[in-house]
Amino acid sequence: MDLLNCKITDLTALIRSKKLSVEELCRFYLDRIERFNPELNAVLTTNSFALQKARDIDNHFSSYKERPLVGIPILLKDVFCVKNMKTTAGSKMLENFIAPYSAEVTKRLEKAGAIILGKCNQDEFAMGTSNENSAFGVVLNPWNKEYVPGGSSGGSAAAVSAGLCVASIGTDTGGSIRQPASFCNLIGVKPTYGRVSRYGMIAYASSLDQAGPMTMYVEDNALILEALTGRDSKDSTSAQSDVPKWFLNRGSTNIKKLKVGFLNKKEAESFCSSEVMQVLEQVVNLLQSHGAIVEEVSLPLMEVAVPVYYLISTSEASSNLARYDGIRYGSRFDFKNTPPSSLEEFYSQNRGFGFGNEVKRRIIMGTYCLSSGYYDEYYNKASQIRRKMRDEFIKIFSEFSLLLSPVSLSTAFKFGEKPVGSLKSYLVDNFTVSSNLAGLPSLSVPAGFSPVTSLPIGVQLIGNHFDEQTLFDVALLIQEEIKAVGKRPVI
């Protein structure tokens, strides 16, 4: 049985028909983690209760049988709290933090019958594009170990593509699900803002953060997102919308009736590598051959999307990360030989010790943007542009049902090629941040490989608010016709 290449529904069918036990499946993945993770460094913690939970499901199968994700081993980015498990957010600041409760995402997965297999490496506090910015070491891209897996959900991406779990959950504030998905040949979905509860998810920038699944197949993604979605009264920004049946309704979109906008094509041509553009052209041809209309469309404000994103996200981060003071939250500096001379020094030593350089850089930038005298010039201005950008998108969606764009400027890059904190590393986010600023659902789907390096290339689909169905359906067409989806690296 080729367990590794089964879709979730194949696995749950095997489990339901008792051809496979949950314990066997769980062991299969734990063994793979033991074998391949020492080199990849994608997984930070495995759940010591996973096998016990698997046996529990096997032993009480009748009460689990109907659950959509029964027995499916899933890894979480290390920002999701799992009760009694270490939750580090990739930071020394939370190196010893054991979560006293579970995130809503964790609870919903468990309720759906999934097994939480463990936690994945990531850029510290989800800040980064390459996973070079974790306090627990870099993650290698399983497609080529000299290259980054993308970030900030780099561990979550590498783990799925290397077959260390069936699926993983990442978070996306400005591209952190979609970009690593593109670098590792996965489907990565950032849902509409408010679809998935942020309760128990360690915050980076609260008005932008969304959780979403990273999977090998489109159908798996739809199935998991259904389990995660729905109103949660513990998150005031959680949307009051129904849970759609994306999986059941898959393929229901009439491609012939679609009007697709190729977003800022000229800009994409000038920024992106030719191999990225070729893959996009191939997707355009596919859509046209199925009767869709594809036209260029422009969002002029995209020109300032990266600066607007960094002003807003660092401002929110400076506020969210103020809680790590070494008293209420966070690691404490060892003061044994040098007791602090003031409370201020106590805080600053703790924060200086616990946070890495990129996090410090962003806190300083965000605090500056929010400080009196600069607030109007930076934070307020950025918020106004953000609102205008959202309005521009809404106008575009009155005419188009879907937008197409690159995910990133290129395939995965080599370690050290875009130094952490450099403008070069920030510009990688050019095509992903605007969906977060506007709260739109957006997805990355594998659509080709570099003819030079053989590294994967994904394309980005952006939908109207709450219209994930169109995204899933077009991604499904790309999966079926282009056939880059489902391919794995040799590790």
Stretch that binds ligand GLN, among 107-115, 141-149, 167-175, 322-330 (CB under 6 A): 167-175
Instruction: Pull the structure tokens for residue 95.
Output: 């190196």
Q: Which residues are catalytic?
A: 77, 152, 176
Instruction: Pull the structure tokens for residue 106.
Output: 């964790």
Other CB atoms within a 10 A radius of the CB of residue 376 amount to 10
Phi and psi at 320, nearest 5°, equal: -65, -35
Q: Report the residue from 78, 110, 172, 275 that binds ligand GLN according to the rule CB under 6 A.
A: 172
Q: Report the residue from 89, 126, 224, 370 that binds ligand GLN according to the rule CB under 6 A.
A: 126
Instruction: Please tell me the distance from the alpha carbon of residue 386 to that of residue 220, in angstroms, as a whole number.
Output: 32
* CA 169, chain centre distance (Å): 7
Rule CB under 6 A: is residue 173 a binding residue for ligand GLN?
yes
Q: How many residues bind ligand GLN (CB under 6 A)?
A: 13
Rule CB under 6 A: is residue 311 a binding residue for ligand GLN?
no
Angle between helices 305-320 and 357-370 (to 10 degrees): 100
Rule CB under 6 A: is residue 429 a binding residue for ligand GLN?
yes
Rule CB under 6 A: is residue 229 a binding residue for ligand GLN?
no
Rule CB under 6 A: is residue 152 a binding residue for ligand GLN?
yes
Residue 262 CB, nearest distance to ligand GLN (Å)?
23
- Report which residue type is found at 224: I
Stretch that binds ligand GLN, among 36-44, 125-133, 380-388, 407-415 (CB under 6 A): 125-133
Instruction: Please tell me the distance from the alpha carbon of residue 294 to that of residue 275, in angstroms, as a whole number.
Output: 20
Instruction: Please tell me the distance from the alpha carbon of residue 350 to that of residue 328, in angstroms, as a whole number.
Output: 12
Instruction: Please tell me the distance from the alpha carbon of residue 484 to that of residue 189, in angstroms, as a whole number.
Output: 17
Rule CB under 6 A: is residue 155 a binding residue for ligand GLN?
no
Rule CB under 6 A: is residue 408 a binding residue for ligand GLN?
no
Residue 433 CB, nearest distance to ligand GLN (Å)?
7
DSSP secondary structure code for residue 192 in this structure: P
Stretch that binds ligand GLN, among 169-177, 240-248, 294-302, 388-396 (CB under 6 A): 169-177
Rule CB under 6 A: is residue 305 a binding residue for ligand GLN?
no
Stretch that binds ligand GLN, among 113-121, 168-176, 255-263, 342-350 (CB under 6 A): 168-176
Rule CB under 6 A: is residue 174 a binding residue for ligand GLN?
yes
Rule CB under 6 A: is residue 176 a binding residue for ligand GLN?
yes
Give 423-486 as a DSSP string: HHHHHTTTTTHHHHHHT--EEEEEEEE-TTT--EEEEEEE-STT-HHHHHHHHHHHHHHH--TT
Where helices occur in 321-417 by DSSP H, the ranges are 343-354, 357-370, 381-397
Residue 147 CB, nearest distance to ligand GLN (Å)?
17
Rule CB under 6 A: is residue 127 a binding residue for ligand GLN?
yes
Residue 56 CB, nearest distance to ligand GLN (Å)?
34
Length of the chain, in residues:
491
Rule CB under 6 A: is residue 47 a binding residue for ligand GLN?
no
Instruction: Please tell me the distance from the alpha carbon of residue 201 to that of residue 170, in angstroms, as a whole number.
Output: 10
**Nearest residue (CB) to ligand GLN, 326 versus 458:** 458
- Residues forming contacts to ligand GLN in the complex (CB under 6 A) are 126-129, 152, 172-176, 204, 313, 429
